[in-house]
Structure 1
Amino acid sequence: MADGALLRGTGIGKRYGGVTALDGVDVEVRAGEVLGLIGPNGAGKTTLMDVVSGAQDLDAGTLTLAGRPLAGAPWRRARLGLARTFQHPQLASELTVAENVLTGRLAARHSSVRGMAASMLRGLLSTATGRDECARLAADMGLDDPGRLAGELTLGEKRVLEVVRALAQDPQVMLLDEPFAGADATGIAAIMEAIRTVRRRGHGVVLIDHSVDLVASLAERVVLLDSGRVVFEGTPEECLASSEMRAVYFGGGYDRT
């Protein structure tokens, strides 16, 4: 592994009963880099996101963020500088667009869920400064009605809002799991700009998407997973031209023998 990685995972393993979902995965994300994770269904992409974000416990290996051990509940990892979106948007449907964005900002500033809730109860959601800042950030991503309830948004708009909420944390590393699914052309453009914003800040992005072309257009490096293992790592151009890519996507799997 190269020096200077923001996020580093070494020997990551995860099992579900008798099924090995991740088998000795090494991965790193560097400052100012977009890392693409690709592979067929069941390759282990979302499982890797889960163990990095704390949604699932890893069974083997180590994780560090900016040189510090990455462990504990998701809110602890958010405090360290990790943000994540999900395949199925996880928003507070009863809160407005601006309020959802502010929950992301609060998650990065408080050491516990209780502390974040206390901040809300003290009225941070109703302050003009907080409301205006979050409304402006949402508007920059194409969500022009900050008072609209998240539950009223289309799937594509929810995707954008999840990315905006993650961006509000000003994370060192942002994990994006299928952020473009269901988004229209405007939403896709907004999410792509959010990814570039994180990269310009010198932070890192891990991107999963079924559209290999979209991943290739944004990522500096690509990791190809198959059956829980890394079978190729390199530039998008190298990966797309590799025999491993052809085997995984068109040949029924990568033969490791």
Structure 2
Amino acid sequence: MPNITGVLALTAALAVSGSAMAQAAGPQPKATIVLVHGAFAESSSWDAVITKLSADGYVAIAAANPLRSVAGDAAAVSAIVRSVSGPVVLVGHSYGGPVITEAANGNANVKALVYVAGFAPDTGESAFTLSGMFPGSTLGSAIVPVALPDGGQDLFIQPDKFRAQFAADVPEEQALLMAATQRPVAQAALAEAAGVAAWKSVPSYMIYGSDDRNIPPAVMSFMAKRAHAVKTVVIEGASHAVMVSHPGEVASLIEDAASAQ
């Protein structure tokens, strides 16, 4: 005569185990997308990308990058990452690249880094050193410095040169707004040496335009190959403001990173 109590206990245990396995095999939570703008831009530069991500069911957060120092800016972004309970994809444009590279360190929930015309520095490199690695950047002649009370300098792009330099493939009216709302970057931030290169341990993705006048395409190609990027997308004719002029392609790459197993 079988032990009825034992049979019932075994049945219950199998039911619980089966339920746990079904949960584990079920759909995993979608990654939260944290978008970090770069110099001479601001959070609204991600608006069209966010619209596309939201339509596909992703939660996106456009971080307000202080643009003061790589370490300090990364700490601000890292705080946002820590506030998210699930997986995170960090996306950085231009100077936002060094910021996400540093912000990923120590945050195990960061599953991918996406560089959108963004610097991916190795330890000791800066935005300045990388941008000068290959010819092609015309940013220096478009910049105007503004003295700060502490003796440092803020850098702006001259409004009348903004579209040609930063957003040549963006409609003129929109480029004028971008020029008027651009946020300055501290010169010291662009010269600050990067710390640990998170792309050595976190999968990276790259997208950039062939007509980028801030970061030479040759520099982007070099960084993508060095980081062994999972996927690299080059958009013919696109400017440095590729997230504004080609939000669909940018959102698609972000979703590739977010959905990768």
The TM-score range, normalised by the shorter chain, is under 0.3
Higher strand share: 1
Higher RCO (CA-CA < 8 Å; seq separation 6+): 1
TM-score of the pair, normalised by structure 2: 0.28
TM-score of the pair, normalised by structure 1: 0.28
